[in-house]
């Protein structure tokens, strides 16, 4: 693995403009999120990571009101651009988008891609309680397809009524242990059901954590949709396999990876760590021990990201 510069594509930061809205106390993790220089680079070097594709951490810019959100997104993206410009050999970026204002979000995506060189966008789950399958959000996906850049669909906390019903009596499961998976898996599958990919057949979506269990569930989901007679032009599984790419972020499981490769193919799997929530070295150690050929390991480590993100 020493010859391959790892490209990790779900690696977070927090910009000065958005940091106050996290309402997070000072901690080593918060200091890592704010570090765009020496400390971040040192940890990358120690784990053999050549490039991080950076994204603003939750809550990002999408849950501000429609008038405020565009300015907050622009501030975040301009900050990220300066960090990339300082170290273009080590950093690339996904845009934060003001999805509460879909027209402004589409325009900000175009600005960051065409003028700042960003590689796509990361959207942090629902927008003010609404899933992105709603047609009011489709201008964002239309612009992403036109620009030929992916949208990375990231988890957010489940909606409060879901949290109340499912996790009130078991809070530890409400976040990354299970709740985030329920939120993002539902979000992903709703995009397919909405007809979005028929309207924009070149649209590319990235999902972390090896698809939030989607590869394991595709057959069952497709089978149990048949009685509804949905008359979709493609099978449910084909939509997923043709429009989604999965990353390893925070999902360092040999069995889960084997399932993802079996369903998606090796070309649809990309490396990510989910730093600083997961340690870089943990991801590197796991990647190094995978029972894969050198060719397939290199595709996950960097080759697939180079192709998809035009790095």
Q: pLDDT per residue over 66-109, tens digit each?
A: 999 999 999 999 999 999 999 999 999 999 999 999 999 999 99
Contact 76, 60 (CB under 8 A): yes
Residue 234 has pLDDT above 60, yes or no: yes
pLDDT at 251: 97
Mean pLDDT of 146-171: 96
pLDDT at residue 10 is higher than 50 = yes
Separation of alpha carbons 296 and 285, rounded Å: 16
* Torsion of Cα atoms, 57 then 152 then 308 then 287, to 10°: 60
Q: Would you state the pLDDT for residue 1?
A: 37
User: What distance in Å separates the CA atoms of residue 134 and residue 190, rounded to the nearest whole number?
Assistant: 9
Out of 3.40.50.1220, 1.10.10.10, 3.20.20.140, 3.40.50.11860, the CATH code matching 6-309 is 3.20.20.140
Residue recorded with tokens 């959000």: 137
Percent of the chain at pLDDT > 70 equals 99
For 136-152, give the DSSP string.
GGHHHHHHHHHHT--EE
Active site residues: 274
Segment 25-64, tens digit of pLDDT: 899 999 999 999 999 999 999 999 999 999 999 889 989 9
Burial category of 67 from C-beta neighbours within 10 Å (exposed 0-12, middle 13-18, buried 19 and up)? exposed
Residue pair 53/271 in contact (Cβ under 8 Å)? The answer is: no
Q: Is the pLDDT of residue 306 over 70?
A: yes
Domain borders along the chain are 6-309
Q: What is the pTM of this model?
A: 0.96
Q: 4 or 229: whose pLDDT is higher?
A: 229
pLDDT at residue number 2? 43
Quote the mean pLDDT of the chain. Answer: 96
Listed residue (301, 296, 243, 242) closest to 266, CA to CA: 296
DSSP-H helix ranges across 35-131 = 38-46, 69-86, 102-114
Give the model confidence (pLDDT) of 16-30 as tens digits: 999 999 888 899 999
pLDDT (mean) for 287-307: 97
pLDDT band at 148 (very low <50, low <70, confident <90, very high): very high
């Amino acid at each position: 693995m020493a010859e391959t510069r790892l490209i990790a594509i779900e690696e977070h930061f927090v910009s000065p403009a958005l940091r106050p809205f996290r309402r997070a106390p000072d901690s080593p993790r918060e200091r890592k999120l704010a570090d765009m220089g020496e400390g971040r680079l040192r940890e990358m070097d120690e784990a053999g990571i050549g490039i991080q594709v950076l994204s603003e951490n939750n809550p990002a810019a999408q849950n501000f009101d429609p008038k405020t959100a565009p300015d907050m997104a622009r501030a975040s993206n301009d900050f990220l651009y300066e960090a990339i410009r300082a170290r273009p050999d080590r950093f690339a970026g996904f845009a934060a988008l003001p999805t509460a204002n879909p027209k402004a979000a589409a325009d900000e995506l175009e600005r960051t891609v065409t003028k700042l060189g960003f590689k796509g966008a990361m959207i942090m789950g629902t927008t003010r309680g609404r899933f992105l399958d709603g047609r009011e959000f489709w201008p964002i996906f239309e612009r992403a397809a036109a620009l030929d850049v992916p949208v990375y669909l990231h988890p957010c906390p489940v909606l409060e009524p879901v949290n109340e019903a499912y996790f009130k009596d078991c809070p530890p499961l409400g976040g990354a242990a299970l709740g985030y998976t329920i939120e993002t898996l539902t979000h992903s599958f709703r995009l397919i059901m909405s007809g979005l990919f028929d309207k924009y057949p070149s649209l590319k979506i990235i999902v972390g954590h090896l698809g939030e269990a989607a590869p394991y569930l595709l057959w069952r989901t497709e089978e149990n949709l048949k009685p509804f007679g949905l008359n979709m032009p493609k099978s449910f599984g084909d939509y997923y396999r043709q429009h989604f790419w999965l990353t390893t972020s925070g999902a360092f499981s040999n069995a889960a990876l084997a399932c993802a490769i079996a369903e998606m193919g090796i070309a649809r799997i990309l490396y990510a760590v989910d730093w600083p929530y997961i340690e870089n070295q943990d991801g590197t150690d796991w990647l190094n021990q995978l029972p894969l050929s050198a060719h397939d390991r290199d595709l996950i480590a960097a080759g697939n990201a180079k192709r998809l993100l035009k790095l």
